[in-house]
A and B are shown apart, each in its own frame.
Chain A
Amino acid sequence: MKVLKKCISMLLITTMMVGLMGCSSNDKRVDNESATEQTATADAGKDTEKKIVLGMTLYSLKNEFTVRLANAATKKAEELGVELKIYDGNYDPSTQINQIETMISDGVDGIILNPQDAEALSVGVDKAVEAGIPVVGVNTRVKSDKLTSYVGSQDVYAGELETQYMVDLIGTKFNAVIIEGPLGQSAQIERREGIQNILDKNPDIKILAEKTANWSRSEAMTIMENWLNAFDNIDAVIAENDEMALGAREAIKAKGLDIPVIGVDGITDALNAVESGDMVASIFQDGAGQGSKAVEVLVKAIKGETVDKEYWIDFEPVTKDNVAEFKLRAQ
Chain B
Amino acid sequence: MDTIRNTKKINLKQILSQYGTLFGLIAIVIIISIIKPKFLSIDNIMNLLRQTSINGLLAIGMTFVVLTGGIDLSVGSIVGASGMFAALVAKSENNLPWYVAALVGISVGLLLGILNGVIISYLKVPAFIATLGMLSIARGITYMASDARPVPGLSEDFLKIGGGNIGPIPIPVIILVIVLVICYILLYRHRYGRYVFATGGNALAARVSGIKVKKIVCSVYMISGLLAGLAGVILTSRVTSGLAQSGQNYETDAIAAAVIGGNSLAGGRGRLWGTVVGFLIIGVMNNGLDMMAVSSYWQLVIKGSIIIIAVMLDSLNEAKS
Contact = CB atoms under 8 A, between A and B. Distances in A.
Contact of B16 (A4, A18, A86, A99): A4
Given A21-B302, A119-B152, A102 B27 contact: no
Interface in A1-59: 3-4, 6-8, 10-11, 13-15, 17-19, 21-22, 24-25, 28, 33-34, 37
Given A25-B292, A94-B54, 6 more contacts: A14-B27, A24-B294, A34-B36, A93-B239, A97-B238, A106-B38
A123 interface: yes
Interface in A79-128: 85-88, 90-94, 97-99, 101-102, 104-107, 117, 119-120, 122-123
A208 interface: no
B28 A123 contact: no
Main secondary structure of the interface of A (DSSP, over half): helix
B43 interface: yes
B33 to A, nearest CB: 11
B87 to A, nearest CB: 11
B260 to A, nearest CB: 11
Nearest to B154: A119
15 contacts: A7-B16, A14-B27, A15-B28, A17-B305, A24-B294, A85-B293, A87-B290, A90-B296, A94-B235, A105-B47, A106-B291, A117-B241, A120-B241, A122-B240, A184-B241
Nearest to A6: B316
B291 A7 contact: no
Contacts of A33: 35-36, 292
Contact of A101 (B51, B54, B150): B51
A24 B298 CA distance: 10
Interface string B137-177: 00000000000111010000000000100000000000000
Given A117-B239, A183-B149, A212-B148, A21 B291 contact: no
B239 A97 contact: yes
A61 interface: yes
B41 interface: yes
Given A88-B296, A184-B243, A105 B44 contact: yes
Nearest to A131: B43
B107 interface: no
B114 to A, nearest CB: 27
A19 B289 CA distance: 10
A79 B188 CA distance: 60
Q: How large is the interface on A (under 10, 10 to 19, 20 to 34, 35 or more residues)?
A: 35 or more
B300 to A, nearest CB: 10
Task: Determine chain B's interface SS by DSSP, over half rule.
Answer: helix
B313 interface: yes
Contact residues on B (Cβ < 8 Å of other chain), bracket: 35 or more
Contacts of A183: 148-150, 244
A11 B148 contact: no
Interface in B279-321: 286-298, 302, 305-306, 309, 312-313, 316, 320
A65 B74 CA distance: 32
A182 B143 CA distance: 13
A87 B309 CA distance: 26
Contacts of A184: 149-150, 241, 243
A37 B235 contact: no
A181 B94 CA distance: 30
B58 interface: no
Contacts of A93: 239, 243
B150 A119 contact: yes
Contacts of A122: 240
Most chain B beta-carbon neighbours within 10 Å: one of A19, A24, A119, A182: A119
Q: Which of the listed residues B16, B239, B293 has the most CB atoms from chain A within 10 Å of its own CB?
A: B293
B37 interface: yes
4 closest A-B pairs (Cβ-Cβ)?
A88-B296, A105-B44, A120-B239, A184-B150
Interface in B21-79: 23-24, 27-28, 31-32, 34-38, 41, 43-44, 47, 50-51, 54
A119 B154 CA distance: 11
A46 B90 CA distance: 51
